[in-house]
Amino acid sequence: MKLKLPRILLMVCAIALLGATSTGCKKKQSDADIKAAVETALKAEPMSTVTMVDVKDGVATLSGECKDDMCKASCEKTAAAVKGVKSVVNNLTVVAPPPPPVIAADDPLTSAVNDALKAFSGVSATVKDGIISVTGKIAKADRQKLMMALQALKPKKVDVAGLTNN
C-alpha cells in the first residue's frame, strides 16, 4: 500500500501533465508558428506582392506593398483567418499605379510619322486617334527599324496589317 499510492499519484500527475501540455499546444501556438502560417497563407494569395508578417502575442502585423485596396483588404482577411491570429494590424501600403501612357496628338504625330517614313520608301501611313496604320511593302530586315522609329513617337497603337514583306 505504501508503494502503490505514490505510483498512482505519479501516473495521475503524468497524465495530467501530458494533457496540460497537449491542450496547451492546441490553444496557444507560438508566435513563430503563427507567423509561418500567415506567410504560407499569404503566399497562396495571388494578389499579394511584397508583404512582411510580424506576430507578437497572436497579433499579426502586415507591412509591405500591395497593388490596390482590394489586395490590401484581401491580405488582411487571409491573415485574420489563420488559426491563432487574434487580430491583424494592417500596415500594408498601396503602391501608386504607374502614370498612364502619353499619347501624342494626331497633328504632331502625323508630321513625326512622315519624318520617320522618309527613310522607308514604299511605306506610307495614316494617323487617326493616335493609331498609326502602316501600308506598303518593306524588306523584312527593315521592319524592326521602322517599328523602333514609329513606336518612339508615342502612338496609341501601330497597326501593320497593311504592311507586307518584300
Partner 1 sequence: MVLQDKYKEIIDAATAAGTQDLLVREQDGVLYIDGSANGTTKQQLWDLYEKIDPDYASGDLVMNINSVSGVQEGAKLKITTNSSNLNIRKGPGTTHEIIGKAARHEIVSLVRKENDQWWVIKTDDGEEGYSYTQYLTPVEG
Site residues for partner 1 per CB under 8 A: 97-101, 111-112, 114-116, 118-119, 140, 143-145, 147-149, 151-161, 165
Cell of 109: 504625330
Least CB distance to partner 1 at residue 111 (A): 6
Q: Which is nearer to partner 1, 63 or 154 (CB)?
A: 154
Min CB(33)–partner 1 separation in Å: 34
Q: What is the CA radius of gyration of the chain?
A: 33
In the complex, minimum distance from the CB of residue 147 to partner 1, in angstroms, rounded to a whole number: 5
d(CA 88, CA 54): 10
d(CA 31, CA 29): 6
Nearer to partner 1, 57 or 107 (CB): 107
CA atoms in the 13 A half-sphere facing the CB of 12: 6
37/66 with CB nearer partner 1 = 66
Contact 138, 122 (CB under 8 A): yes
Closer to partner 1 by CB, 24 or 99: give it: 99
56 DSSP β-pair partners = 59
